[in-house]
Amino acid sequence: MKKSIISVLLTLVMVLGLSPAIKAETLTLNGTKAYKYSLEEGIYMMDLTANANTTAQFYTSKKEAKKGYGITGIGDSYINGRAHTKKQVAFTVDEKGTYYLSLSTESSHVQVDVNVYKADVGGKLTNGQPLLGTSNADNKTIAYYQYKMKKDGYVSLSVDGINDLSSNVIVCDETKKAMHYWAYGYTDSRSLGAIALKKGTYYFAVKSYDPVYNITATATSRKITGGLKKKKAKTIKKKKTYKGMVALNGSTSWYKYKLTKTKALSMSFTGTSFYGGSAGGMNITVYKGKQKLGTQTFMENTQSATQSYVISHGKTYGKADAGTYYIKITNYKKGCGIYQFSLN
């Protein structure tokens, strides 16, 4: 088929932030007018804002585009512009060529802002900057987005589809090898938070039912604060807060404290885990010397974000005998996360 194979794929909703537009202009419209676009093969998104009711349609010929109403377009959008409403439509160009955008209104001197963006099947992410992405509208293409962690820390990742359809994400190492299995599907504005990672290069692999989505990765620095081995455990004190993280690509933090006499002792633990539930989270294990006293598993989506644990190893429940205690915080299954805790 010739260029008539442009097809509208999505309904029209708001998307937050975009890559730079390949074409952006403000037009003053009276009646119907056609505008020329030279487009490469790929998936695009166009957003329009008008201050009066306006119809937008794509055509393959200028003659048809000038007719406007009454002609079947290759994709159309009715803009209710009473409140300068923004509408967005995604469409596929299967063949490089020239296309014509027809804008029609029954009002006079209508101002229309037109922005056209091309979606990327993968690419490089800049911290905090959205990138318009696509999985080619079939949920079969895996789009890989490279992201560089300049320091140890955690990433909040969002994939906002303009049609509110589900997407799946997997975090990969620098060779694109999966570091855990596919995350659950999620919809617009759902953020995968606290993906704790060591300094390095990673890829976020995306499969989406939403052909056009906005992907944003924002990193926050966080150190692995405890000792990497038991004999290197960091000494801690009561009533002081300690922050750390458990990296997805594996990390263990050891802490220790000494009691000179028997006393009541508990630990308050707050965290954010990825990926929670049965897939994993963080384990907190307490030892007295070489003896393991017990393990608590932190999974954010199955329990409250703050957990209090009673450290008991004495004649009376809730009291700890004098001695040296160790706290080990590490990955549970394929999970990771950030945390802070204090002894009370």
Q: pLDDT tens, 118-138?
A: 888 899 999 999 999 988 755
Task: State yes or no: pLDDT of 82 exceeds 80.
Answer: no
- Phi and psi angles of residue 98, each rounded to the nearest 5 degrees, phi first: -105, 135
pLDDT higher at 54 or 133: 133
pLDDT higher at 95 or 182: 95
Angle at 249 between CA 246 and CA 255, to 5 degrees: 30
pLDDT higher at 272 or 327: 327
Q: Give the N- to C-terminal CA distance of the chain in Å, as an integer.
A: 72
Residues 203-225 have a mean pLDDT of: 90
pLDDT higher at 265 or 218: 218
Residues 280-294 have a mean pLDDT of: 89
Task: State yes or no: pLDDT of 182 exceeds 90.
Answer: no
10 — pLDDT class (breaks 50, 70, 90)? very low
Least confident of 77-81, 146-150, 290-294, 329-333: 77-81
Least confident of 115-124, 142-151, 268-277, 289-298: 268-277
Task: State yes or no: pLDDT of 52 exceeds 70.
Answer: yes
Least confident of 67-71, 118-122, 255-259, 262-266: 67-71
CA distance 31 to 84: 18
Task: State yes or no: pLDDT of 221 exceeds 90.
Answer: yes
Strand partners, 242: 341
Least confident of 124-138, 177-191, 257-271: 177-191
Q: What is the pLDDT of residue 307?
A: 62
Mean pLDDT of the chain: 79
Asked if 269 and 306 count as a contact pair (C-beta separation under 8 A), the reply is: yes
- Burial class from Cβ neighbours inside 10 Å (0-12, 13-18, 19+) for residue 235 reads exposed
Check residue 18 and report its DSSP letter: -
13 — pLDDT class (breaks 50, 70, 90)? very low
- Phi and psi angles of residue 122, each rounded to the nearest 5 degrees, phi first: 90, 180
CA distance 197 to 247: 5
pLDDT higher at 148 or 18: 148
305 — pLDDT class (breaks 50, 70, 90)? low
Q: Supply the pTM of this predicted model.
A: 0.80
139 — pLDDT class (breaks 50, 70, 90)? low
Pair of tokens at residue 194: 């606290």
Task: State yes or no: pLDDT of 197 exceeds 80.
Answer: yes
Alpha helices in 86-181 (DSSP H): none
